[in-house]
Structure 1
Amino acid sequence: MQLKINRDQILNDLLAQQSTQGTRTITIDDTGNKQFTVFGENGESFEVKGTYYLANLLQEVWLGNGELDTEKVLMKPLERVDYLMKNHYWNVLSRRMNADNVLANLFDEKRSSEKSYLYVPAADVDGLAYYHRITAQYDNIEIIELPAPPYSADLLKEIDEKAGLLALKYDKETDQPLPYVVPGGRFNEMYGWDSYFIGLGLMAHDQYELARGMLENIAYQIKYYGKMLNANRSYYLTRSQPPFYTPYLAAFYRQYADRLPENWLAEHLAIAIQEYEQVWQNPNTHYFADIGLNHYFDEGVGRPKETEEGHFRVILQQFADKHGMNWQDFEREYDSGSLKEPELDRYFEHDRAMRESGHDTTTRLDDVCADTACVDLNAILYRVEADIAQLLLEYYPQGFEFAGQTYSYDRFFEYAEKRYLAMQQYLWNEADGTFYDYNHLTKKQNAFVSASNLFPLWAKACSPTQAKRAVASQLPQLLRVGGIASTAPISGSLNVERQWDYPYGWAPHQILIWEGLQHFGFADEMYQAAFAWVQTIVRATVEYNGLIPEKFNVEQSSHKTNVEYGNVGAVFDYVPAGGFGWTNASLILGIAKLTQAQKDELNTLADSTV
């Protein structure tokens, strides 16, 4: 039924009666009578009961323009979240750095200043001309031409003093920059490994232009900035993130090959090889050549400046005490270079590497990350090598010419085989039946139970026997009522809960582990793990006005956290502001993993709020 309504009046009445917490949302925490009658302007009426359906009503009235489709209010939860993502959330999270949006895109709450800086690669002549053109009307925007990498320490220092946004790909044919999707909440830029998981969600919804824009923008970063960036802000020029560009490329091309230009794959395959060789095979930064395995590393030095004020207070105070200073004065002197503390330099080397890992922060990588051959990174790189090998075999069986060399299936198959053997030698623990991180400095494994220990199943970097043993060894310690935790419970007293430690669960871990379980035939375990996570999200959407945040406490199956950085996406008015990118994707992909009986059970959650 379609109703013409007085939008403002209904919003006011609905909130006054049902949003008793004053949050401009309707949740199970509100104490209204949980029923409301909508009167149409032509005399019709529509009765709504229960928290979930009232929240749907609030959303539809807010999104509408004096029209109400009652069928959308009555949608069951799985249909509802899918509808909102396709028609609202992806749009809200999308960005395009054109004339209409450039100021909004430049905004950065982490490093605000009176003047906004936009960095554009000097080699991108067309992009440079475009960005000069669209910013000419703004006195408070300065465009800075960025030379090709590598960047000197002096240049990085200059850039740090003028923190700004890094331009992404401009398409001359359409005279528009390509679109991209941000994670959500305070994150107003495109992030590295987030983009792969977001891309999987976009492809599941056949959002071709957005999914392609994301991939093209990652390729642009590798081409002009030297790597897939942590995010396209100037203070991230020194580090990458888990290298999912090639898995993204392989998945995207297989789904959309018939819609792409003839030489598209060749262009992107060359960029994939460039990233592999220049970033991940670089022994000065990311590669332990003596053991044939990789580690995370950030080429910057000192305190990472994108963190919130006071984030390093505890560690800084320890060094400040030596100098009889408070931590703020010490921080200022240390950042300027007036005070030298090699031990603190080393601490930040590990901290920066941990941030490149995407797991910022976790006890697993404290003070060891730059020295550690991580299971997650090497599993991903095995998948990169295998994906490139397969693309070469399928599309360039006679060899692929790039930068004066010929690349073949055999070459990348050999790279993958060498890594497989190195992972067996250094990362596999026969006694415990699992993979563990390996410390290159101490020559020992770190026997730490982590979701990352199961990444080799997703990458197909283990034998069926090892997969069986790893699932038996790790999954029971990680799987909780709300999904897979980042780590097993950690003993000891911590000053602050780390967001990538137990009891918190994150979308990328769920997605990769589901795929690994499915590949090796662990169907029951996959159904159980996917249902636990999807149920947590669906319950949050049903009970909290459509809420989809960045992470969950999987021990309590709750979005409510007491952890560093809070929980992005948990606070909003009326309608979630796009949800959260990779959590959205995990919900779409997770629902596809469930049985029909599991889906039916999740839909009954709506009735529990009536």
Structure 2
Amino acid sequence: MGAEPSPADLYGPLLAKVQERAILPDGKTFVDALPRRPVADIMRDFAALPAGDAALRAFIAANFDLPTQGTGASPAVLPLRAHIRALWKELARAPEQAASGSALAVQHRHVVPGGRFREIYYWDSFFTMLGLVRDGELELANGIVDAMTDLIEAHGHVPNGTRTYYLGRSQPPLFHMMVELLDDGRSNVAARRLSAMKREHAWWMAGAGEVEPGRSGARVARLADGDLLNRYWDPRDTPRDESWREDVATAAASGRPVGEVYRDLRAGAESGWDFSSRWLDGDALPSIRTTAIAPVDLNAFLFGLETAIAASGDGDAEHYAGLARERRAAMNRHLWHAEGGYFADFDVERARLRPPLTAAALAPLLVGAATQEQADSTAAAVAERLLAPGGLHTTLAATGQQWDRPNGWAPLQWIAVAGLKRYGHDALARDIAARWVDTVGTTFARTGLLFEKYDVEQAGVGGGGEYATQTGFGWTNGVTADFIDRYDLSPPRE
């Protein structure tokens, strides 16, 4: 973790009281607020504050500047594709040379997702960059990658987002894909980005050499046969600052040690799939067990990172090529569902495959970790079971969690399309892209807005989760623009 204290570290009982009493409707609002006075003075006066929500509301209003709603909430007057081009300016942010409040410094112009998401988010950014590149916004795209490089150099990893309360966790490691998308071959830039890729890999693999068979440590799990896979993790076992109230309620309902539940919730947030039946025993969030699971997509992305470093041809290339070979073999042994014909997650604690088919099964195709036979079988399973009228289902479980049925998400559509194309399944790839553009276009024609997630069964706005569906929206814009341009698609119009 970085040395920068999070709002929970700074405000402790004040944060807990504000969040647990739901003084502000969205828990992220308070942790993004800027203090008007020194923290010590605020906490001294809080200790003498009279009881009651009214007094607490007044205290917050007097001592903090609360953030405003982000961009992307105004209905469009342009056609969809032109609207996406216009949105880059609205979603762009100037460099923040000095951190303020919980924000981390960002030295380059960049793009944020929109709505409540006012800062850079890690895996969102790759999918946003697809649209930036399509629209010639290379300064912004390079600014994002330069910001990611700075973060890795400062912290060893890219945090979930550029806030102090995100420093304990990352997100799906796609930095190498961003580098591949942009790196122009300038030796100093390429060398710095390659060095950052190696450092990020070391962060994900920390402790691997000391983990014994059948044990896990940090983000690595050594299986009984000696194979090594990765999992999501966070060193903190406290409620998330931005979702404190929700996490306290989830842990209280679990009947488990609360620290264990908090860490699983944090790990679920690191996965980007926050939250999904992938991490649950059943349908209820208190049963979350993220840290017990080796996810197929995480291991695929790390295979991609190892392969990318190996392809650099520098002195460490063969070492990383060997790591990639070992990971691919471990994925084949433990993550391939032979009976179902697709890749799936592995339960490390129970030493068995988790059989449900999810959109994460396409990640090994994206990075080239599948054989042609595995890709063909996966394509058949996806076409038969995951394909929905409006795109690709996230999972087949309807739990009310936002990363479950009936929701579809832009990054998963793109991973599927790119992975299927890599193995020659062009027709299915185009079909998924066309269905997605139709969903986004139909909803846009009704609302004039772009959303973070969609209902791919009813071609409408997605729901579920612990906050209201957001507009903007970086990765939807990027993926949709890429699909429209790649396949020359015409979105529906009123």
With normalisation by structure 1, the TM-score equals: 0.63
Could you say which residue in structure 1 is the equivalent of 2:112?
182
- Kindly indicate whether residue 321 of structure 2 is the aligned counterpart of residue 419 of structure 1: no
Could you say which residue in structure 1 is the equivalent of 2:218?
285
- Kindly indicate whether residue 84 of structure 2 is the aligned counterpart of residue 85 of structure 1: yes
Q: State the 1:561 CA deviation.
A: 3.1
Amino acid at match of 1:537: V
Superposed CA deviations along residues 435-475 of structure 1, whole A, max 9, x for unmatched, are 11111111011111210012111111110000011111234
Residues 486 and 509 of structure 1 are in contact (CA less than 8 Å); yes or no, is this contact kept in structure 2? yes
Structure 1: segments with no counterpart, 5+ residues = 1-57, 61-72, 74-79, 99-129, 133-140, 142-162, 170-177, 320-341, 400-406, 570-578
Residues 454 and 460 of structure 2 are in contact (CA less than 8 Å); yes or no, is this contact kept in structure 1? yes
Superposed CA deviations along residues 271-297 of structure 1, whole A, max 9, x for unmatched, are 110110133344331112432111111
Could you say which residue in structure 1 is the equivalent of 2:441?
538
Could you say which residue in structure 2 is the equivalent of 1:224?
154
Could you say which residue in structure 1 is the equivalent of 2:171?
241
Map residues 458-607 of structure 1 onto 2, 5 A cutoff. Answer: 458-490=366-398, 494=399, 497-545=400-448, 547-559=449-461, 561=463, 563-569=465-471, 579-594=472-487, 596=488, 599-600=489-490, 602=491, 605-606=492-493
Q: Take 1:459 and 1:536, find their aligned partners in 2: how far apart are those partners?
A: 27
Q: Take 1:310 and 1:89, find their aligned partners in 2: how far apart are those partners?
A: 32
Q: Take 2:117 and 2:180, find their aligned partners in 1: how far apart are those partners?
A: 27
Q: Take 1:467 and 1:166, find their aligned partners in 2: how far apart are those partners?
A: 41
Could you say which residue in structure 1 is the equivalent of 2:292?
371
- Cα distance, 1:237–1:198 mapped onto 2, change above 3 Å: same
Residues 409 and 454 of structure 2 are in contact (CA less than 8 Å); yes or no, is this contact kept in structure 1? yes
Superposed CA deviations along residues 509-541 of structure 1, whole A, max 9, x for unmatched, are 001100011111111111111111011111122
Could you say which residue in structure 1 is the equivalent of 2:13?
none
Residues 368 and 439 of structure 1 are in contact (CA less than 8 Å); yes or no, is this contact kept in structure 2? no
Q: Secondary structure at the match of 2:232?
A: coil
Q: Secondary structure at the match of 1:165?
A: coil
Residues 458 and 515 of structure 1 are in contact (CA less than 8 Å); yes or no, is this contact kept in structure 2? yes
Could you say which residue in structure 2 is the equivalent of 1:388?
309
Q: Secondary structure at the match of 2:243?
A: coil
Residues 350 and 370 of structure 1 are in contact (CA less than 8 Å); yes or no, is this contact kept in structure 2? yes
Superposed CA deviations along residues 238-281 of structure 1, whole A, max 9, x for unmatched, are 1111000111112211xx33xx4x41111111111011013334
Superposed structure 1 runs of 4+ greater than 4 Å apart:
none
- Cα distance, 1:82–1:280 mapped onto 2, change above 3 Å: farther
Q: Take 2:418 and 2:263, find their aligned partners in 1: how far apart are those partners?
A: 33
Residues 132 and 141 of structure 2 are in contact (CA less than 8 Å); yes or no, is this contact kept in structure 1? yes
Q: Which has the larger radius of gyration?
A: 1
Residue 439 of structure 1 is aligned with which of 347, 350, 361? 347
Q: Take 2:322 and 2:244, find their aligned partners in 1: how far apart are those partners?
A: 44
Q: State the 1:214 CA deviation.
A: 0.3
- Kindly indicate whether residue 269 of structure 2 is the aligned counterpart of residue 355 of structure 1: yes
Residues 172 and 271 of structure 2 are in contact (CA less than 8 Å); yes or no, is this contact kept in structure 1? yes
Q: Take 2:246 and 2:361, find their aligned partners in 1: how far apart are those partners?
A: 32
> How many aligned positions are there?
403
Q: Take 2:432 and 2:254, find their aligned partners in 1: how far apart are those partners?
A: 42
Q: Secondary structure at the match of 2:98?
A: helix
Q: Take 1:524 and 1:468, find their aligned partners in 2: how far apart are those partners?
A: 13
Q: Secondary structure at the match of 1:166?
A: coil
- Cα distance, 1:285–1:59 mapped onto 2, change above 3 Å: closer
Q: State the 1:84 CA deviation.
A: 2.5
Could you say which residue in structure 1 is the equivalent of 2:102?
164
Residues 293 and 346 of structure 2 are in contact (CA less than 8 Å); yes or no, is this contact kept in structure 1? yes
Q: Take 1:417 and 1:434, find their aligned partners in 2: how far apart are those partners?
A: 19
Residue 95 of structure 1 is aligned with which of 71, 93, 96? 93
Superposed CA deviations along residues 46-86 of structure 1, whole A, max 9, x for unmatched, are xxxxxxxxxxxx855xxxxxxxxxxxx6xxxxxx3332322
Residue 202 of structure 1 is aligned with which of 129, 132, 146? 132
Q: Take 1:354 and 1:286, find their aligned partners in 2: how far apart are those partners?
A: 13
Residues 132 and 478 of structure 2 are in contact (CA less than 8 Å); yes or no, is this contact kept in structure 1? yes
Amino acid at match of 2:235: E
- Cα distance, 1:429–1:210 mapped onto 2, change above 3 Å: same
Q: Secondary structure at the match of 1:514?
A: helix
Q: Take 2:331 and 2:250, find their aligned partners in 1: how far apart are those partners?
A: 36
Structure 2: segments with no counterpart, 5+ residues = 1-74, 209-216, 281-287
- CA RMSD for the aligned pairs? 2.1
Q: Secondary structure at the match of 1:461?
A: coil
Q: State the 1:560 CA deviation.
A: 5.4
Residues 342 and 357 of structure 2 are in contact (CA less than 8 Å); yes or no, is this contact kept in structure 1? no
Q: State the 1:314 CA deviation.
A: 4.8
Residues 128 and 475 of structure 2 are in contact (CA less than 8 Å); yes or no, is this contact kept in structure 1? yes
Could you say which residue in structure 1 is the equivalent of 2:59?
none
